[in-house]
Amino acid sequence: MDLIPAPSSAVRRPDEDFPLDATTTLTAPPGLADAERWLRGTLSAATGLPLGPGRPGTGIELVLDGALAAEAYRITVRPGHALLAAGGPAGALWAAQTLRQLLGPDAYRRSPLRREGWVLPGADIADAPRFGWRGALLDVARHFLPKSDVLRFVDLLAAHKLNVLHLHLTDDQGWRVEIKRYPGLTGRGAWRERSMVGYRSGQRRDDRPHGGYYTQDDLREIVAYAAARGVTVVPEIDLPGHTQAAVAAYPELGNTDVVDTAALGVWTDWGVSPHVLNASEETLRFFEGVLEEVLELFPSEFIHLGGDECPKEQWKDSAAAQARIHELGLANEDELQSHLIRHFDRWLAERGRRLIGWDEILEGGLAPGAAVSSWRGFGGGVAAAEAGHDVVMCPEQHVYLDHRQADGPDEPVPVGFVRTLEDVYRFEPVPAQLDAAAARHVIGTQANLWSEFADSARDVDYRAFPRLVAFAEVAWSELPAEPAERDYPDFERRLRGHLEVLDALGVEYRPMGGPRPWQRRPGVAGRPIEGPPPVR
Ligand code: ACM
């Protein structure tokens, strides 16, 4: 059966196969309507079988089982009856995904290649995820990704039982979420005149203007589409750094006593812009206004407020920022950033939400309710978990999917460390140094795909796949007990079959042997970091 991600247990019962035909039914209780709708829509399209409603005890049957955890499920396939028992709606969706996998690669197509010969293999499967947060970050700020591509990416996450889409919606190079009360954020902030092509050192530019944004209705659609597939969309509004697009749209948000922010445009370079927010009360009110609309669009418990890579030079030079530090009784610029994050930590908590930010939010003191995305290695995550804060492990040395997949001249725009498929598969999100109590604060793990060097869904596919498949197994499947390490040869064997699934889905992954000619970018500079990634 070779399922990916590997289930907790799977026993093949070769004498118990269940051939499907036009009379096969599909039933579910009202509480599992999303899974029923998804399964009927997806499997009917792929198989041509109607899968009409039927009676309990026959056909494909979804049921709730209160003894199972919300995301857990069991599948029992016998002749004439496939029973999918789930702890809750999410578990039913994962069971439905597994059922599709049992039918083979053709079940991933959107029209039937054949209407006969569909067989569910007789089996007993029990399954549950290791982590509750199994995420992927899509950076739609550096390069905008049209809505249809985001919806497709959601489908790809769900197919691999990943359940968090972290949407990086704002950055120096573009603001991508419509905010009704501040139309300039997208009117001006969603567009840039040109883009760097590849890394700075290559000095190549594309003079084609770049931009785009999601309307609030687009985002409602994305959120609902994802929810119906078990995926939570966590929005990121990055502050107080990575904000040049916002400052370009509303110059009063910047450090106006240091630079002429009215002369700024949306940034056309890659890197970290020095143009950060000022720390005035008015700026806090502005972003409360932004967040009020964001909360209305995104029901997720967590709201990501970035907090990474905020250069402090403008605050050091700004009389207004220094006066603010003095007025608030703070020691320095790090504490000023911490003051901003604490403000929004409280503000979100009052509205029943939780703040999550990059590990820089530890500097100057972590806000009481904040959770941490540990990206600069494990260190931030370890410190946060030991202090009792929840952590999502996403160290760049291991799971940044913009980093190159192989050494050598053929990798397109090769940046960062070499992170092969095997490296990603061997990534372990919970550092051995954590005791059991701290380890429980590692609520999950996430792979991050920054898009400076991925300007289309085709490039996203190339960098994400097949590594995201390996990552999905890291996030979902328990580590083997003895020895506590993953069996890469076995994964690679299963993956070879799974590549047929990706082919059926139309995913332009990196072939195991290297890029196809059109996946290369000859002459476009990258910034490879030599040597193995440091252990941090
Ligand atoms: C990050 O990569 N700056 C979070």
> pLDDT value at position 434?
98
pTM greater than 0.85 (yes/no): yes
Closest of 360, 373, 379, 430 to residue 400, by C-alpha: 373
Ligand 1 atom 3: residue of nearest CA: 308
Beta strand pairing call for 205-206 and 123-127: unpaired
pLDDT band at 178 (very low <50, low <70, confident <90, very high): very high
The domain locations on the chain are 9-127, 131-168+370-536, 171-302+313-328
Question: Computed over its alpha carbons, how large is the radius of gyration of the chain?
Answer: 24
The verdict on whether 309 is a catalytic residue reads: yes
From the CA of 450, give the closest atom in ligand 1. Answer: 2
Cα 453 from chain centroid (whole Å): 17
- Alpha carbons 515 and 511: distance in angstroms, whole number: 6
**DSSP-assigned letter for residue 189:** T
Ligand 1, closest atom to CA 358? 4
Looking at the CA of residue 373, tell me the nearest atom of ligand 1: 4
Distance CA 357, CA 238 (A): 9
Contact, 202 vs 280, CB < 8 A? no
**What's the confidence (pLDDT) of residue 513?**
96
**Residue 482 pLDDT level (bands cut at 50, 70, 90):** confident
DSSP string, 13-82: -GGG-EE--TT--EE--GGGHHHHHHHHHHHHHHH--------TTSEEEEEE-TTS-TT-EEEEEETTEE
Tell me the mean pLDDT in the region 446-461. Answer: 98
215 has a pLDDT exceeding 90: yes
pLDDT tens figures, 495-521:
999 999 999 999 999 999 999 999 999
CATH no. of 171-302+313-328:
3.20.20.80
Q: Give the Å distance between the CA of 12 and the centre of ligand 1.
A: 43
CATH number among 3.40.50.150, 3.50.30.30, 3.30.420.80, 3.30.379.10, domain 9-127: 3.30.379.10
Cα of 230 vs centre of ligand 1, distance in Å, is 26
Surface-to-core class of residue 5, CB atoms within 10 Å of its CB (0-12 exposed, 13-18 middle, 19+ buried): buried
Q: What is the pLDDT of residue 531?
A: 83
Alpha helices in 131-280 (DSSP H): 147-159, 184-187, 216-227, 244-249
CATH architecture of 131-168+370-536: Alpha-Beta Barrel (3.20)
* Per-residue exposure over 511-523, b if at least 16 CB sit within 10 Å of its own CB, e if not: eeeebeeebebee
DSSP bridge partners of 37: none
Q: Residues enclosing ligand 1, CB less than 6 A?
A: 308-309, 358, 375
pLDDT of residue 483 exceeding 90: no
How many Cβ atoms sit within 10 Å of the Cβ of residue 459? 20
Question: Closest ligand 1 atom to the C-alpha of 306?
Answer: 4
Over residues 16-36, the mean pLDDT reads 98
Residue range 482-499: mean pLDDT, rounded: 95
Q: Residue of the nearest CA to atom 2 in ligand 1?
A: 375
Do residues 334 and 312 touch, judged by C-beta distance below 8 A?
yes
Q: State yes or no: pLDDT of 296 exceeds 90.
A: yes
Domains 131-168+370-536 and 171-302+313-328 equal at CATH topology level: yes
Catalytic residue (choose from 16, 221, 309, 422): 309
User: In whole angstroms, what separates CA 348 from the centre of its chain?
Assistant: 21
Mutate to test the pocket of ligand 1, among 168, 171, 309 (most ligand atoms within 8 A of CB): 309
pLDDT confidence band for 535 (50 / 70 / 90): low
